[in-house]
Structure 1
Amino acid sequence: MTDLPSQGGYLRANRSGYAQPNRVVTKPRDPALIREEILQHINEEKLVRTRISQLDEDVKRAQARRDELNNQVKTVLEKAKNYREKRDKANLQVKECKERRDEIHNRIGALYREAMGMKKQRDNYLGMLREKGLDPQTKRTIDSLEWKIQTVPMSLEKEREIVERIAKLSAGLEYEDEARKWHDKMLKIFDEVDKLREEAQEWHQRVERYARLSQEHHDMMCKMYREADKLREEADKAHEEFLSKLSELKNEKSKLRSLKNKIAKLRNEYNEAKAMRIVAKIRAKRKTFDEVLAAMEKLKNGEKLGLDEIYLLRRCKLI
């Protein structure tokens, strides 16, 4: 079987001696050049592996930072939720205290109107006393006059005057008693009003205290929400960095796979080129051996040798 030259390589001949165009054997490249190209790709592979290692660390770092920030966001939002619940509870207490305070104010208003009615009744009786020219302190005056009659020596005429005055004053004593009764009732109501006002003031102070507490919780809740927004923004940036580094990492891994495939193909090509060189050397040696045998046969038969045959036998030190 012989190799026939063809355009771009060799065509494998069949047993009949005709070329078969089903397989083209291309001339192999120089193994040294292939080896140099392999080394270049290996160096490039090392650089890619270094970048992959660095990017892998960057991805893990960005992911850890993002997860940490997201956890902080959850923690801060939980705090904001607690402050909101405390604020709402304080607002409910404000509402309850206001209702209690307003109930007391309504009670005070009702009692005050009732007291004004009693004052009017008292003033009516006092007016009756004034119409009769009597002093509102009638009983005290009567007691004083009776004590004077009993203890102070006086004429019969003077005593008669005092007795007449006592009789006149006693006629208005009923009005004074009624006025005093209504006055005492009014004072009793005013005492109750004063107590209720103190109680209302206590409830009002509670309203103010819970309102301040509600505002404090509201301010802290808003602060937590602002902090959560800031942390969420940082987490989004960390996530963007994570995605960017992850994309770079995927690209570098794709490059690495491509380089591995190239190196594997080049190594196969290198091995084939070396093998073909060895085969070529073997074939060249076999051809030389056949040519030496043919020249020796001609020399043995006394045939004339050509210059190439003489040179070949001399080179092999056979002549």
Structure 2
Amino acid sequence: MLNELIDKRKVTISGSEDHKTKRNEYNAQASQYARERNTLNNQTRECVEEAQKHKELRDQFNKEVQELKDKRNELNEQANVLFGEIDAFKKEHGGIKSRSIKELHKQIEHLEFRQQTEVFTTEKERELIEKIKALKEQLREQEAEIEQNKEIREKITLAKELRRQASEIHDHVTQLAEDAQKHHDLMVECYRKADLSREKADEAHKKFVEAQEAADNEHKLFIACQKELRDYDKVIGGLRKKNKKVKTTKEQKEVRKEAEQIFSQFKAGEKLTTEDLLLLQRSRLL
């Protein structure tokens, strides 16, 4: 029975070492997944922070765009009022039936805006340029015609200056709008990267949990093996102690028997050796 228990103990030791090895492997995997998760979470946070910065810049640029648009519209409105007065003067003092200066300015601005923002074939763009050129010529002719009047000339100068200022603001508005769009696109890209890294972090966390649970399970099995080994040690130790006691008792009986034989020889007057005398002393026969 003792040998059978010893063999079973060896099997349990092997199982214990196997569970310990697997536990350590799973713990190492869990640590690796935890590091990956933490790195990805940091990347997510950095992307979100960068996206927020781009959002703030976009909103700032859009606010400036709206403020400048209001200023531009105000200047254009002032210019339109002056051009309206100029056109009224034309009709009153010449009965000219051609298009008004105000209308010409509006049409020229409209065509120039199309030229800047739309894509044309070479032939179509040439036609557009020629049309703008013709309208500007009409504008110059009409302005030259009414600039004889000092008051009107001053209104034309002021109206042109207002248009120039409005045009400069419009260019600035266009640039700011492009900047706002650029930061909007960057913001969207940062949020896209944040979503991607967050998704990867969630997957790494899932693997971390699975590895941790597997490690915990192997640790429980390892602990169970350790408990089983302690039980085996108790039983085996008890059996060995019992066997040793039985063996000792048997040996003592044999020694006693041998000592009695030697003692009989001693009483018969036979000569004893030193070893015989020591044996008799241990057996308490002397």
**For 1:50, which of 18, 21, 28 is the aligned residue?**
21
Aligned match of 1:206 in 146, 166, 172? 172
Structure-2 residue corresponding to 1:94: 65
**CA, structure 1 residues 38+116, in 2 after alignment: closer, same or farther (shift >3 Å)?**
same
Instruction: Provide the aligned C-alpha RMSD in A.
Output: 2.8
- The answer to whether the 8 Å contact 1:119/1:186 transfers is no
Which 5+ residue runs of structure 1 have no aligned equivalent?
Answer: 1-29, 125-178, 294-319
User: 1:265 aligns to what SS in structure 2?
Assistant: helix
8 Å CA contact 1:122, 1:182 repeated in 2: no
Match of 1:112 in 2: 83
Q: Give 1:215 deviation, angstroms.
A: 0.8
Which residue of structure 1 aligns with residue 121 of structure 2?
A: none
Identity of aligned residues (%): 23
Find 1:83's aligned residue among 54, 69, 82. 54
Q: Distance in 2 between matches of 1:262 and 1:50?
A: 18
Whichever residue aligns with residue 193 of structure 1, its letter is A
After the TM superposition, which residues 1-319 of structure 1 pair with which residues of structure 2 at under 5 Å, given as runs? 30-123=1-94, 183-283=149-249
Contact 2:146 2:153 in 1 (8 A): no
Moved more, 191-200 or 61-70: 191-200
AA matched with 2:165:
E
| Aligned-partner Cα distance in 1 for 2:79–2:32 | 69
- TM-score with structure 2 setting the length: 0.68
Question: What's the TM-score once normalised by structure 1's chain length?
Answer: 0.61
- Looking at both structures, which has the greater relative contact order when contacts are Cα pairs under 8 Å and sequence separation is at least 6? 2
Partner of 2:123: none
C-alpha distance 186-268 of structure 1, shift in aligned 2 (>3 A): same
- CA 181–67 in structure 1, closer or farther in 2 if over 3 Å, else same: closer
Q: Distance in 1 between matches of 2:5 and 2:57?
A: 76
1:207 partner letter: V
Deviation string, structure 1 residues 65-93 (Cα, Å, up to 9, x no partner): 00000000000000000000010011001
State the SS of the aligned residue for 2:149: helix
Q: Is the 8 A contact 2:147 2:153 kept in 1?
A: no
Q: Deviations over 1:11-70 (max 9, x none)?
A: xxxxxxxxxxxxxxxxxxx22111111111112222222112211211111001000000
In 2: Cα distance, 1:245 partner to 1:181 partner: 88
More strand by share: 1
CA contact (8 A) 1:49 1:256 kept: yes
User: When the two structures are aligned, how many residues end up with a matched partner?
Assistant: 213
Alignment-mate amino acid for residue 243 of structure 1: V
Structure 1 moving runs of 4+ over 6 Å = 179-182, 286-293
Question: Is the 2:51–2:188 Cα contact (8 Å) retained in structure 1?
Answer: yes
**Greater C-alpha radius of gyration:** 1
Q: What SS does the corresponding residue of 1:225 show, helix, strand or coil?
A: helix
1:230 to partner: Cα distance: 0.4
Alpha carbons 2:19, 2:221 under 8 Å: kept? yes
Q: Distance in 2 between matches of 1:231 and 1:64?
A: 14
